[in-house]
Structure 1
């Protein structure tokens, strides 16, 4: 049963499409005072209180408690004031008007739009804090820097931390590498998420009877976890403009980058929301083990490690094995569990989603 649940969680992590429509079903209770004998009005307020509690419960799965406390007023102003917008449907499970205490109590089952909530939390930067502020590098093929600059602007406005890309990134040698080598290069310069892609466009024909020129620009983007090479999101955008000079291409590039960058951010935050509330895919590299020993490690992690839903032996060659681990937590949490189970094991390398351990 545990393996089946872990497999399901892993499959959900891989499903990027439809993330924005993800929903969570929760049960919540709300109360309100019955004033001047008006039970109907108290009932309405109790329902609103229950729905707010439902939204708060979902937020609690997406954002850590310390961040919630530090940003309580911000959440109250920007999220809790529009509770109804995050609830797609609800039903009343029970209700009671206590005339002795003059309290109306309602219990509801609500479907909360987790994707929409994640988008707005992402806009406030709260999901980024939950994911420990991953740093991002943007590299685009066939781009003079114009489109990349606009993509970076979208990311920066959403609170992402950007790293300067190395000189060798973006050249012919970089694009002749496979995706893994590209990610490794950017990771050496501090990037934890690599946004790779290609841009195209330029001047089209002249507008008849004027000195205007039509311009167009297109961009395709792919966000990849630099340490595990897992694809987080893909997006594309297109822009057009008519202008007398090169400013026309600038406007077309801005449109394309804004569309693609905005879509990419929404997908990334939805993916991170799912990872925060359920589990995330980690890679565990183990040195000094036989294939049989690696299989034993995987089995014990499943049985005894807190938060581990599934551990699968992905490959084994020589004295090194790689496990795929589905876990509620990141690589630092996995390292802590490994130290508990194997006190002599030594962590030799660690990033957000990947861990290397010597046995």
Structure 2
């Protein structure tokens, strides 16, 4: 009899365990957030969704980041504290991704922008994450997650906010793409500027450009002309090339005309004529007149070429923000021995210098190529501020986007 009662008791206990497990797994939740933290209504137990995916993620290139977060317990309950700890880790993951794109943000205004535009909605930039660890120490919950963060989305928004451009000192761009007649390709240029302007790029206005070219009788057929235009407009970058369109055919049975565009453009640094980006494209355009078909073909090419062209420029500038830009420094007043010593002094005393290359000495003139994280202005300021530590008296004679000229002499 006792054996029968014991078996019955064990059976009832087993059934209770099974029912409890089913209820826990099937229970609706009293708290179910974007972090995947919940409290079971039937059991009151706290749980964590361990492999959360964002159904609203917009796609694009991503990066995997390990991040940690924490939150203190308070009157809102343990589940809320766990949720906030995970949210803290998510924010830290997005902050790491932003830091990898813009290599730190010096501006207070930029930090405010990041808080309001990005960090307050970190979930939108996370494709998915896994909870690697949740622990509690006294009254604080700690979380560790592996997050998949949308780099393309962040980069697009950083561009739109102008933060990446700010890190590059907001380069001003002049568009000098010409058509098949040798005139400015108006339809193409206007559309390209619009598409790039929507991403935060800044341009010399077409009216200012035409006035300068007319007043100073400048054409745009060679590098000297481009540099002269840039000097007059204040542009640091020029987009040059050809964007023309030619008659292709008349649509059979209609008066509609078809034109085909032929585009080849290059973005260049004005100071040294180095290439930032290149793109080519062909497109067909159909219109009721030759003028309309011509314009439509060019606009289609501008629309098609913009994303890749923008991506090349951004990737180039992002690399420079992260890894440094090459600047040429011309130094007068040094003999051969001093030029070697000056090279070493630069490496030891100037922060953010990645490499220094001595490009030769001629008389008392030396030339160095410096890979530096920052602008040429920042580099000039750094050299001037650290001159005493370097053991030199230094006079900065001038600088532009890519070069610095100075006079140096050994301190006695």
1:204-250 CA-to-partner distances (Å, cap 9, x unmatched) read 10111111111222322222222233322222333322111111221
Task: State the secondary structure of the residue aligned to 1:188.
Answer: helix
Q: 1:25 to 1:276 in 2, by over 3 A?
A: farther
Q: 1:321 to 1:69 in 2, by over 3 A?
A: same
Q: Which residue of the partner structure matches residue 184 of structure 1?
A: 227
Q: 1:84 to 1:129 in 2, by over 3 A?
A: same
Please give the alpha-carbon distance, in whole angstroms, between the structure 2 residues aligned to 1:183 and 1:341: 36
Please give the alpha-carbon distance, in whole angstroms, between the structure 2 residues aligned to 1:114 and 1:282: 28
Q: 1:205 to 1:282 in 2, by over 3 A?
A: same
Q: Which residue of the partner structure matches residue 81 of structure 1?
A: 121
Please give the alpha-carbon distance, in whole angstroms, between the structure 2 residues aligned to 1:116 and 1:314: 41
Q: What displacement does 1:303 show?
A: 1.9
Of 95, 113, 116, the match for 1:71: 113
Please give the alpha-carbon distance, in whole angstroms, between the structure 2 residues aligned to 1:287 and 1:88: 54
Q: Which residue of the partner structure matches residue 120 of structure 1?
A: 157
Q: What displacement does 1:201 show?
A: 1.6
Q: After the TM superposition, which residues 147-186 of structure 1 pair with which residues of structure 2 at under 5 Å, given as runs?
A: 147-163=188-204, 164-165=208-209, 166-167=212-213, 174-175=220-221, 177=222, 179=223, 181=224, 184-186=227-229
Name stretches of at least 5 consecutive residues in structure 1 with no aligned partner: 1-19
CA contact (8 A) 1:284 1:325 kept: yes
CA contact (8 A) 2:259 2:285 kept: yes
Q: Which residue of the partner structure matches residue 217 of structure 1?
A: 261
- Does residue 352 (structure 1) correspond to residue 401 (structure 2)? The answer is yes
Q: Which residue of the partner structure matches residue 248 of structure 2?
A: 204
CA contact (8 A) 1:62 1:127 kept: no
Of 284, 294, 299, the match for 2:344: 299
TM-score by length of 2: 0.69
CA-based RMSD of the aligned residues comes to 3.4
1:42-61 CA-to-partner distances (Å, cap 9, x unmatched) read 64553343122221233343
Q: Which residue of the partner structure matches residue 14 of structure 1?
A: none
Size of the aligned set, in residue pairs, is: 330
Please give the alpha-carbon distance, in whole angstroms, between the structure 2 residues aligned to 1:183 and 1:274: 26
Q: Which residue of the partner structure matches residue 59 of structure 1?
A: 98
Q: 1:114 to 1:72 in 2, by over 3 A?
A: closer
Q: Which structure has the higher relative contact order (CA within 8 Å, separation 6+)?
A: 1
Please give the alpha-carbon distance, in whole angstroms, between the structure 1 residues aligned to 2:339 and 2:225: 29
Please give the alpha-carbon distance, in whole angstroms, between the structure 1 residues aligned to 2:254 and 2:147: 58
Q: 1:267 to 1:70 in 2, by over 3 A?
A: same
Structure number with bigger Rg: 2
- Does residue 226 (structure 1) correspond to residue 270 (structure 2)? The answer is yes
Q: Which residue of the partner structure matches residue 374 of structure 2?
A: 329
Task: State the secondary structure of the residue aligned to 1:345.
Answer: strand
Q: What displacement does 1:33 show?
A: 5.1
Please give the alpha-carbon distance, in whole angstroms, between the structure 2 residues aligned to 1:82 and 1:234: 34
Q: After the TM superposition, which residues 276-315 of structure 1 pair with which residues of structure 2 at under 5 Å, given as runs?
A: 276-290=321-335, 292-315=337-360
Q: What displacement does 1:291 show?
A: 5.1
Please give the alpha-carbon distance, in whole angstroms, between the structure 2 residues aligned to 1:332 and 1:73: 28
Please give the alpha-carbon distance, in whole angstroms, between the structure 1 residues aligned to 2:160 and 2:282: 23
Please give the alpha-carbon distance, in whole angstroms, between the structure 2 residues aligned to 1:159 and 1:30: 35
Of 319, 335, 339, the match for 1:274: 319
Of residues 212-221 and 339-348 in structure 1, the stretch that sits farther from structure 2 once superposed is 339-348
Q: What displacement does 1:91 show?
A: 5.5
- Does residue 243 (structure 1) correspond to residue 326 (structure 2)? The answer is no
Q: 1:172 to 1:137 in 2, by over 3 A?
A: closer
CA contact (8 A) 1:215 1:242 kept: yes
Q: Which residue of the partner structure matches residue 167 of structure 2?
A: 130
1:122-161 CA-to-partner distances (Å, cap 9, x unmatched) read 0222222232221111112435332222222223333333
Please give the alpha-carbon distance, in whole angstroms, between the structure 1 residues aligned to 2:160 and 2:123: 17
CA contact (8 A) 1:90 1:111 kept: yes
Q: 1:214 to 1:59 in 2, by over 3 A?
A: same
- Does residue 252 (structure 1) correspond to residue 297 (structure 2)? The answer is yes
Q: 1:265 to 1:316 in 2, by over 3 A?
A: farther
